[in-house]
Amino acid sequence: MKEKEFIDIIKSTINPELIGDDCAYLEDLGIVISQDSLVEDIHFKFAYTDAYKLGYKAAMVNISDICASGAEPEYMTVALSLPPDKDGEFIQKFYEGVKAAAPDIKIAGGDITGSCEKVYISIAIIGKTAGRTISSRSHAAPGQLVIVSGEHGNSAEGLKRLLNGENCPEKFLNAHLMPRAEREFSRQIAENITAPYAMMDTSDGLMDALSQIAYSSGVKLSVNYNKIPHDAFVDKANVLYGGEDYKLVATIPESLLFKLDKAFVIGKVEKGLGVELDGKVLTKDDIESKIFNHFKG
Instruction: Indicate the pLDDT class of residue 9, thresholds 50, 70 and 90.
Output: confident
Q: Which of 211, 207, 294 is nearest to 242 (CA)?
A: 207
How far apart are alpha carbons 47 and 65 in whole angstroms? 27
Neighbouring CB atoms inside 10 A of 271's CB total 10
What pLDDT, on a 0 to 100 scale, did the predictor assign at position 5? 75
Please give the torsion angle defined by the CA atoms of residues 236, 2, 216 and 123, in that order, rounded to the nearest 10 degrees: -90
User: What are the beta bridge partners of residue 276?
Assistant: 222, 281
Taking phi over 0 as left and psi of -120 to 50 as alpha, with beta for the rest, 109 belongs to left
Q: Which residues of 133-153 are buried (b: 16+ CB within 10 A; e: fewer)?
A: bbbbbbbbbeebbbbbbbbbb
Residue 242 is which amino acid? G
Which domains are delineated in the chain? 22-128 (3.30.1330.10), 145-288 (3.90.650.10)
Overall average pLDDT of the 89-106 stretch: 97
Task: Compute the 3-state secondary structure of the chain and give helix, strand, coil in percent, each to the nearest 5.
Answer: 35, 25, 40
Give the Cα-Cα-Cα angle 93, 60, 107 (nearest 5 degrees).
65
What pLDDT, on a 0 to 100 scale, did the predictor assign at position 297? 44
Residue 16 has pLDDT above 70, yes or no: no
What pLDDT, on a 0 to 100 scale, did the predictor assign at position 204? 93
Give the Cα-Cα-Cα angle 24, 28, 29 (nearest 5 degrees).
75
User: What are the beta bridge partners of residue 198?
Assistant: 251
Chain centroid to CA 135? 14
pLDDT digits (tens, 9 = 90+) for 102-114: 999 999 999 999 9
pLDDT digits (tens, 9 = 90+) for 107-160: 999 999 999 999 999 999 999 999 999 999 999 999 999 999 999 999 999 999
The upper half-sphere exposure of residue 76, i.e. CA atoms within 13 Å in the direction of its Cβ, equals 28
pLDDT digits (tens, 9 = 90+) for 237-277: 999 999 999 999 999 999 999 999 999 999 999 999 999 99
Instruction: Indicate the pLDDT class of residue 218, thresholds 50, 70 and 90.
Output: very high
Instruction: Indicate the pLDDT class of residue 19, thresholds 50, 70 and 90.
Output: low
